[in-house]
Amino acid sequence: MTAKKLSVLLVESSNADAQHTLSKLALAGYVLEQRRVDSAKAMRSALSANRFDVVLCSYDPPGFGGLPALDLMQNSGADIPFLFLSHDLREETILHAMRHGADDYIFKGSLNRLTPSIEHNLREARIRQEHRAAQLALQENQTRLHAFIADLPGMAYQMLLRNDGSVTFPYVSEGCQALLGITPQDLTHVSSLFEALLHPEDFASYQLSMHASAEDLSFWNWEGRILTMPDNETKWINLRCSPRRTGLGVQWEGIIFNITQSKLAEFEIKHSKVQLQELSSHIQDVREQERIAIAREVHDDMGSTLTAIKLDIAWLAGRLADNPVLAEKARSIESLVDKCTTAAGNISRSLRPSVLDTFGVIAAIEMEADEFELRTGISCVVEHGKEIAEIPPDISIALFRIFQETLANITKHAQASGVEVRMQDLDGILELTVHDNGRGISKADRAKPRSFGLRGIRERVEYFGGRVNIDCQTGKGTRVRVFIPREAGRATAEDLLAQQNLF
């Protein structure tokens, strides 16, 4: 049997009774640490200086003990099992002692109940101690939680969607006042106040997202506007909470943030981005107009001038037939004029292919592909859907310039032997695909800050509300897919300013 340590405070004036009690405990297998007292002063000193497992106190006069000893321990704040030992077995005496707060009352003439009573009361004391520790930990956690919630930049809450469809707020933090303009007490008592604050244009999306979260118990994340009380100020809020099913319905615990400033910043960023896109588009338009003007001047003015020079040289050569040296010189000059005419035509086409304006973007792409194949020796096959309606001029120019840029990248980097091009109309979405069989573009190359070609492609496409997909595998080439809606969904800076004015 394993020895058990027991620290005992013995309040006993009788030496014989004290010895009898201690012997009984020793026989029960306890290794005793005991202190015996017989006065209030000694007991008070012992309680303050030591920690005891149990107090065994005589209830028999004369001497100190009984109820005064029990009162002393209770007043000290100690929670120690307190057992009376007595020769008095009168029922009224026992009841009086127990009602006063003693844990047990044991007959000194037979201490057989002493050990079981000590064991029982030690267990009860441990349970009380663990309960107090748990209560203390709970209080500390609640204090920390309340402090944390008080510092949150928003409103913590519990919301219950009852089985009958009604909504209540069992808990709302103090942040309610700053966020919504109403007190937590008002919202918990009149839960309909929250839905009354929702912006009319956002009410339907709020209801839809709430019921979707309730149906499959998914995380609820909703953004929308409220009109706060009492000044009807518009705020953007972000509601984030987790649901759980209860007997009363579905309950969410979460937090509502004020995201008005971040929304304003978001609109400002979008506005700046749109302004940059508009500026970029304007620059592209100006460049195209300059290209058109220069190409026209090269084609019309320079071309007609070179043609006139060639005619004059031909006329002059006919009159120099009797002078072989001068005739040869005239033919040499005529050859130079032909080269200049060819160069002027090439310059004019590179600036702005006339076929783009005359026959459209598909014909221009086919011609550009043929010239690319002749120039580089890389096979370039163009396919297109048979039924492609007329494409708006600004989109045609964008698609053609994107195609030119992809061919330039293939020439510089791809080390390809073949290129496949496809143009099609997918229910109002124009798709241009350029696929080469070269070495591919690595992610690092695509992420380089000076990859202006790819960046220019993205900017052109994004301006029209489209998107770009670039797929590549090492050794299997690169596929660039461009999607642009015919009805370009581009937002203007004025559109975004109108949205920003909703605040």
Residue by residue, pLDDT tens for the chain (503 residues) are 566 899 999 999 999 999 999 999 999 999 999 999 999 999 999 999 999 999 999 999 888 999 999 999 999 999 999 999 999 989 999 999 999 999 999 999 889 999 999 999 999 999 999 999 999 999 888 777 777 766 677 899 999 999 999 999 999 998 899 899 999 999 999 999 999 999 999 999 999 999 999 999 999 999 999 998 777 889 999 999 999 999 999 999 999 999 988 888 887 888 787 777 677 667 767 776 776 667 667 766 777 888 888 888 888 878 887 888 888 888 888 888 888 887 777 776 666 677 777 888 889 899 989 999 999 999 999 998 777 878 888 888 889 989 988 999 899 888 899 999 999 988 889 999 999 998 887 666 665 655 667 888 888 888 888 999 988 876 678 999 999 998 755 544 444 344 444 44
Element (H, E) at 45: helix 40-49
User: What six digits make up the tokens of 462?
Assistant: 């994004």
Element (H, E) at 240: strand 233-245
The alpha carbon torsion through 375, 380, 383, 389 (nearest 10 deg) reads: -30
Q: Which residues pair with 469 in a beta bridge?
A: 481
User: What six digits make up the tokens of 109?
Assistant: 């003439």
User: What six digits make up the tokens of 258?
Assistant: 């004020």
Q: Which residues pair with 241 in a beta bridge?
A: 220, 254
The fold for domain 4-132 equals Rossmann fold (3.40.50)
Are 97 and 84 within 8 A, CB to CB? Answer: yes
Q: Provide CATH 3.40.50.2300 ranges for the chain.
A: 4-132
- Tell me how far apart the alpha carbons of residues 370 and 375 are, in angstroms, rounded to a whole number: 9
Please report the pLDDT score of residue 498 as a whole number.
46
Please name the amino acid found at residue 161.
Answer: L
Pairing of strands 30-37, 4-11: parallel
Question: Of 475, 310, 488, which Cα lies nearest the Cα of 396?
Answer: 488
Q: How far is CA 295 from CA 288, 345, 346, in A?
A: 10, 9, 10
Predicted TM-score (pTM) of the model is 0.48
Q: Provide CATH 1.20.20 ranges for the chain.
A: 261-352
Would you put residue 205 in left (φ > 0), alpha (ψ -120 to 50) or beta? alpha
The CATH code of domain 358-503 reads: 3.30.565.10
Question: Of 424, 502, 428, 425, which Cα lies nearest the Cα of 465?
Answer: 428
Pairing of strands 418-426, 379-384: parallel
Are 103 and 53 within 8 A, CB to CB? Answer: no
CATH architecture for residues 152-258: 2-Layer Sandwich (3.30)
Instruction: Please name the residue that has the structure tokens 């009852």.
Output: 162
At the top level of CATH, the class of 261-352 is mainly alpha
Instruction: Please name the residue that has the structure tokens 């020769």.
Output: 87
Please report the pLDDT score of residue 301 as a whole number.
74
Question: Which strands make up the sheet holding 418-426, listed edge to edge?
Answer: 379-384, 418-426, 429-436, 477-485, 467-473
Q: Provide CATH 3.30.565.10 ranges for the chain.
A: 358-503
Please report the pLDDT score of residue 37 as a whole number.
95
- Tell me how far apart the alpha carbons of residues 8 and 66 are, in angstroms, rounded to a whole number: 17
User: What six digits make up the tokens of 147?
Assistant: 């402090």
Please report the pLDDT score of residue 497 as a whole number.
45
Please report the pLDDT score of residue 378 as a whole number.
93
Please report the pLDDT score of residue 503 as a whole number.
45
